[in-house]
């Protein structure tokens, strides 16, 4: 029962997944790790949302519309977790764990596109990965490759360096086919345990122009945080 002041919509969605988990334990017993657990998870997902007319509902942006969906997605996910055993001065064992690597490969098949006779029902093949060999360095990457033109659609490769205080330096190469090729850098410095300041810059590698710079402060407590930053880009300057 809709009125001019109150609108509702009712929709349903259907989902299913089929997966398993394979686990293997390695025993390197070196300074890097005493044990490493490898989890391999192959999975197939199905997601369906029907087409429902929503023209009578208010529209502000794309979030106000729930799109029809009929997707099958396959994925292969790998987790690597290290375990270290250390002796305390009292002779007791102290265990520590770290997620040292994450690798996921996935792709979707759009049944709706195939039903509508669209030419490219398969999505890009996407690879996501993170590598954390120790608490001072991390490397991450996400790559999307088109099965139709055999070219990379996106390539994002980044790394982060940290110290004991939590100060960090982040650099990232960002590539989007036919749109941009940029280098992003960000430095974060902790003034106190709760207060930090940062500065970031993104530069277009093709024309050597600055895409955006940001500078700001962040104050974080256990249950709330406050952020203030200034942003300067080609077409906008803002304080948030």
Write the pLDDT tens digit of every residue in 122-178: 999 999 999 999 989 999 999 999 999 999 999 999 999 999 999 999 999 999 998
Residue 28 Cα distances to 31, 34, 35, 136, angstroms: 9, 6, 6, 22
Give the angle subtended at the CA of 47 by the CAs of 42 and 51, to the nearest 5°. 165
pTM for this one?
0.82
Q: Cα separation of 172 and 204, whole Å?
A: 12
Mean pLDDT confidence for 53-70? 68
What pLDDT, on the 0 to 100 scale, is given for residue 8? 64
């Amino acid at each position: 029962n809709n009125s001019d002041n109150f609108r509702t919509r009712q929709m349903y969605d259907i989902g299913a997944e089929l997966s398993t988990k394979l686990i293997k334990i390695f025993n390197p017993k070196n300074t890097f790790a005493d044990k490493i657990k490898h989890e391999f998870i192959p999975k197939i997902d199905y997601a369906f949302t029907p087409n429902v007319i929503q023209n009578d509902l208010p529209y502000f942006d794309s979030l106000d519309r729930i799109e029809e969906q009929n997707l099958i997605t396959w994925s292969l996910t790998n987790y690597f977790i290290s375990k270290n055993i250390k002796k305390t001065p009292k002779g007791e064992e102290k265990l520590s764990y770290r997620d040292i690597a994450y690798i996921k490969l996935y792709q979707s098949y759009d049944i709706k596109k195939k039903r509508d006779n669209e030419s490219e029902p398969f999505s890009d093949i996407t690879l996501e990965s993170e590598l954390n060999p120790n608490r001072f360095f991390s490397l991450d990457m996400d790559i999307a490759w088109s099965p139709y033109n055999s070219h990379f659609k996106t390539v994002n490769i980044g790394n982060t360096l940290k110290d004991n205080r939590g100060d960090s330096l982040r650099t990232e190469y960002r590539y989007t086919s036919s749109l941009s090729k940029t280098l992003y850098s960000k430095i974060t410095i902790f003034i106190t345990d709760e207060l930090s300041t940062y500065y970031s810059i993104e530069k277009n590698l093709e024309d050597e122009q600055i895409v955006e710079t940001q500078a700001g402060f962040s104050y974080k407590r256990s249950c709330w945080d406050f952020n203030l930053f200034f942003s300067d880009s080609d077409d906008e300057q803002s304080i948030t």
